[in-house]
Amino acid sequence: MKTVLMLLGVAAMAPSFAFGCACSAVPADAAVAVVSADKQAPARHPLKGVVVDVMADRSALLVKHEEIPGVMKAMTMLLTVDEAGLKAAKKGEAVTGMLVRKADGWWLEDVNAATVATDAARADS
């Protein structure tokens, strides 16, 4: 009798073995969350420098920047910017922003520029 009951118990569990139980089902949106977690946003690094040239035809600024610890030494390099960045920066101005490595090269985002004369005037005040 015990053998029959034990077999009935195993037979009753068979559908959950064959098709899986609800407790192990993964919600459809969980797969999306895993995929998006693998695609991390690019690292952003604070940058300080001076605009050497504005190259509107290339949507870029030539910037002589300070060292970015752990990323690169101080150097002059061409950085792609968006339209707002082009409008914000002028040759000879101090510039700050966030350096970002993208598939198509180095970008400077969140561009903030101020002329050295303006900064000196603020210091005198």
Q: Which two tokens stand for residue 60?
A: 């870029």
The pLDDT of residue 31 is 42
The pLDDT of residue 115 is 56
Domain count for the chain, please give it: 2
Q: Which domain holds residue 6?
A: 2-38
Q: Are residues 30 and 68 in the same domain?
A: no
End-to-end CA distance of the chain: 98
Q: Are 109 and 83 in contact (CB under 8 A)?
A: no
Q: Are residues 61 and 106 in the same domain?
A: yes
Give 39's Cβ-side CA count (13 Å radius): 5
Q: Are residues 32 and 77 in the same domain?
A: no
The pLDDT of residue 34 is 40
Q: Which two tokens stand for residue 35?
A: 């995929």
Q: Are residues 34 and 81 in the same domain?
A: no
The pLDDT of residue 66 is 97
Nearest to 29 by CA among 40, 20, 37, 21: 37
Q: Are residues 54 and 99 in the same domain?
A: yes
Q: Are residues 11 and 50 in the same domain?
A: no
The pLDDT of residue 113 is 85
Query: pLDDT 10s per residue in the chain (125 long)?
Result: 554 444 445 455 555 444 444 544 544 544 443 444 446 788 999 999 999 999 999 999 999 999 999 999 999 999 999 999 999 999 999 999 999 999 999 999 999 987 554 444 444 44
CATH number at residue 74: 2.40.50.320
Q: Are residues 85 and 26 in the same domain?
A: no
Q: Are residues 117 and 88 in the same domain?
A: yes
Q: Are residues 100 and 64 in the same domain?
A: yes
